[in-house]
């Protein structure tokens, strides 16, 4: 049994071209005149010049205030609190990310029946 390399119609057309002496027709795509490179992805910028520390509010109690002055991205305050009755440290983070450059600070407070232990800040590139 023989293997066919071309479909019968293609083989017949090729044979007709060879027999009749007609030139073969090819649809070629023209070569590009200049190499076009894809643009590099933009690097995401991180917050810079950040500060954070203990903050006390008359109504909300002790917690953390955080702020970033430059760069890009977002940030939020973190606080660790010790329960009055002992037990594991409570870790809280501000519910909303603040955008660098919007002039807003980030705040988070210890829950009731706990006392402030330490502060932190969480950042992400934007």
Contact 79, 14 (CB under 8 A): no
Q: How many CA atoms lie within 13 A of 95 on its CB side?
A: 2
pLDDT band for 123, please (50, 70, 90 cuts). Answer: very high
- Mean of the pLDDT values across residues 88-109? 96
Lowest-pLDDT range of 38-42, 47-51, 78-82? 38-42
pLDDT of 4 reads 38
The DSSP output letter for 59 is T
């Amino acid at each position: 049994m023989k293997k066919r390399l071309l479909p019968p119609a293609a083989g017949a057309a090729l044979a007709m071209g060879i027999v009749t002496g007609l030139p073969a027709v090819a649809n070629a795509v023209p070569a590009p005149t200049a190499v076009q490179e894809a643009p590099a992805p933009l690097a995401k910028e991180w917050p810079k010049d950040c500060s954070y520390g203990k903050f006390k509010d008359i109504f909300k109690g002790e917690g953390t205030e955080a702020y970033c002055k430059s760069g890009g991205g977002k940030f939020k305050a973190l606080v660790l609190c010790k329960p009055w009755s002992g037990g594991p440290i409570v870790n809280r983070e501000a519910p909303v990310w603040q955008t660098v450059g919007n002039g807003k600070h980030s705040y988070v407070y210890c829950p009731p029946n706990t006392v402030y232990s330490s502060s932190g800040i969480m950042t992400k590139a934007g």
